[in-house]
Amino acid sequence: MAGSAGNEEMSCAMVKCGRRLRGRYDPAPMLPRLLAVPRPHAARAGVALGRRRAVSPRLRQWLSAPGSLTARLRLHGQVKVQVISQGRCTLWPQEQAALGCRQGYVREVVLRIDGRPAVWARSSTSLQAVKGPWRAIKGLGTRPLAELLFEHRQVLRDPLVAQAFAPKSPERCHLARQWSRLEHEPDSPAPIWARRSVFWHRGHPLQVLESFAPWVTFLPAGPKRR
């Protein structure tokens, strides 16, 4: 009974997560170029498979590709960002463990290539961080997060971790609901494989999870370094 209640609470929290956006964003300034607090285990490359499952060589390339994902997607067409939701909500269990808090600030978007949904992405950080080092995430609007992460060289990145969502997990159900409502792709299969990593700025973490539409994994991921 307790487990069932917990799942219902988590599902409810994810449905209520954030607020629908209608073109209005917090005009927060971009991040200042301040030194980050180094972490001994921080790295700019590398990937670990969260679960041991067979993956194709091309999918593995996408899961482990360093640098800006947006830049790699632009090799295949015009990329635009569609903001799905943004705001305060209860974090997923994995996010709580990574960020060290239960409540946080979450931004969910879809990256489209020539209008076709290609990547579903979820960025999460603490409420304290969104008022401080990561406050610029509130004012991004339809600009890609890469403008913050890869134009500020003092931001550090932990290794990438690849994962496949469990078939009936709350996370996968949440993603599938959002994917089914997207224009142009109402019947296309929702992403299953994703990768995540934590970025650090002035000692505060921001986790970014990126999940790939199945059709994207048949495209070349581009050069090993970008």
Residue with the bigger pLDDT between 11 and 148: it is: 148
Average pLDDT of 51-79? 88
Is 46 a residue whose pLDDT tops 60? no
Average pLDDT of 142-171? 90
The H or E element that residue 69 is part of is helix 69-73
Global pTM reads 0.76
Three-class secondary structure of residue 100 per DSSP = coil
Burial class for 157, CB neighbours closer than 10 Å (0-12, 13-18, 19+): buried
Q: Which pair of structure tokens corresponds to residue 21?
A: 């956006």
Return the minimum-mean-pLDDT range out of 25-39, 122-136, 162-176: 25-39
* Per-residue confidence (pLDDT) for residue 152, from 0 to 100: 76
Is 174 a residue whose pLDDT tops 70? yes
* Per-residue confidence (pLDDT) for residue 190, from 0 to 100: 86
* Per-residue confidence (pLDDT) for residue 133, from 0 to 100: 93
Return the minimum-mean-pLDDT range out of 1-10, 106-115, 174-183: 1-10
Average pLDDT of 169-188? 83
Determine phi and psi for 100, rounding to 5 degrees.
75, 30
Give percent above pLDDT 70 in the chain: 73
Would you say 121 and 108 are in contact if contact means Cβ atoms under 8 Å apart? yes
Average pLDDT of 177-199? 85
Is 50 a residue whose pLDDT tops 50? no
* Per-residue confidence (pLDDT) for residue 222, from 0 to 100: 84
DSSP state of 92: P
**CATH class of the 2-21+34-218 domain in this structure:** alpha beta
Q: Which pair of structure tokens corresponds to residue 207?
A: 């986790």
Residue with the bigger pLDDT between 211 and 186: it is: 211
Residue with the bigger pLDDT between 200 and 225: it is: 200
Is 20 a residue whose pLDDT tops 70? no
Is 159 a residue whose pLDDT tops 70? yes
**C-alpha to C-alpha distance for 93 and 100, rounded to whole angstroms:** 10
Residues paired with residue 82 on neighbouring β-strands, in sequence order: 110
Return the minimum-mean-pLDDT range out of 69-83, 127-141, 173-187: 173-187
Average confidence score pLDDT of the chain: 80
37-66 burial code (b ≥16 CB/10 A, e <16): eeeeebeeeebebeeeeebeeebbbbbbbb
